[in-house]
């Protein structure tokens, strides 16, 4: 027993102080891409050709679809003008699908859930996780939030086993044909009012499986989505930041608030 207590004292406090303080990210962390259309040369298609998911368009101005982006950095490496660069900004979650289209202007982050939902769900949010054909990368980073390092429950957010005990769904994966019916039935089982959160490129657009015969290109093709968290997979910090914005713990334009 003395050894256990001594070890615990040496370990100290293990839970991140986010959102009071942002954790230090490794130098190789790939955050939100930065798009500068002014550097895009006329007729250049090198970034478009390099993108494995068709996330980039150059017609009518350079546009990068963050919902399709795998954060592979192939576009930035291919661009001779440096029109696409990588930042370490972990704040990626948005409330509308169109807000994931990067055109070089302001990036609109997710806002708090609508008022009628906030009055009911704002203080205690229960989510049922649905892996709709994912590779388990996004699922793993969601599960990390339940460890002592992140302690998701301290914000009143919990992952529950039954959709009948949930306030909404947290969906990962591209929604394969075999999971479509299961997702529909799980959504129906969640009592109204309810939320849907799409986590990862697969759940938003199909990711690397986009337009395949046995996938449905993400959750939005089956159920309405209230929060989009891009990434392949998104970092646990990105997921947590999005969830806290959804329940109003972090407001648009603010990096940190007291939980």
* Stretch 79-92: mean pLDDT: 93
pLDDT of residue 104: 86
Alpha helices (runs of H) in the chain, residue ranges in sequence order: 2-11, 46-50, 74-78, 115-121, 137-144, 177-189, 201-205, 236-246
Domains in the chain, CATH or no CATH each: 115-246 (3.40.50.12280)
**Could you give phi then psi for residue 124, rounded to 5 degrees?**
-150, 110
Question: What are 94's strand-pairing partners?
Answer: 228
Distance of CA 202 to the CA centre of its chain: 10
Higher local confidence (pLDDT), 165 or 104: 165
pTM: 0.92
pLDDT of residue 257: 37
> For residue range 205-223, what is the model confidence (pLDDT) as tens digits?
999 999 999 999 999 999 9
Q: How many helices (H) and strands (E) does the chain have?
A: 8, 10
Contact status, residue 56 vs residue 63, Cβ threshold 8 Å: yes
Higher local confidence (pLDDT), 151 or 23: 151
Contact status, residue 92 vs residue 242, Cβ threshold 8 Å: yes
pLDDT of residue 258: 32
**Reported confidence tier of residue 142, pLDDT bands at 50, 70, 90:** very high
pLDDT of residue 79: 92
């Amino acid at each position: 027993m003395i050894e256990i207590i001594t070890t615990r004292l040496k370990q100290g406090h293990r839970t991140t102080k986010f959102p009071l303080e942002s954790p230090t990210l490794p130098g190789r962390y790939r955050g939100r891409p930065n798009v500068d259309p002014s550097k895009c040369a006329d007729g250049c298609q090198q970034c478009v050709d390099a993108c494995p998911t068709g996330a980039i368009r150059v017609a009518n101005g350079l546009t990068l679809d963050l919902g399709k982006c795998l954060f592979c950095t192939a576009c930035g490496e291919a661009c001779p003008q440096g029109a696409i660069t990588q930042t370490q900004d972990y704040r990626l979650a948005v409330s509308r699908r169109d807000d994931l289209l990067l055109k070089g202007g302001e990036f609109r982050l997710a806002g708090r859930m609508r008022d009628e939902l906030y009055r009911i769900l704002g203080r205690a949010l229960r989510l049922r996780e649905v892996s709709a054909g994912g590779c388990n990368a996004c699922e793993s980073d969601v599960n990390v939030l339940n460890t002592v390092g992140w302690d998701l429950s301290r914000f009143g957010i919990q992952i529950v086993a039954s959709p009948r005990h949930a306030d909404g769904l947290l969906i990962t994966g591209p929604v394969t044909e075999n999971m479509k019916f299961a997702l529909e039935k799980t959504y129906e089982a969640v009592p109204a009012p309810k939320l849907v959160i799409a986590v990862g490129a697969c759940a938003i657009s199909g990711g690397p499986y986009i337009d395949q015969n046995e996938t449905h290109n993400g959750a939005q093709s089956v159920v309405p989505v209230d929060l989009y968290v891009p990434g392949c997979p998104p970092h646990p910090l990105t997921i947590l930041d999005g969830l806290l914005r959804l329940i109003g713990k972090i407001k648009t334009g603010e990096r940190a608030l007291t939980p």
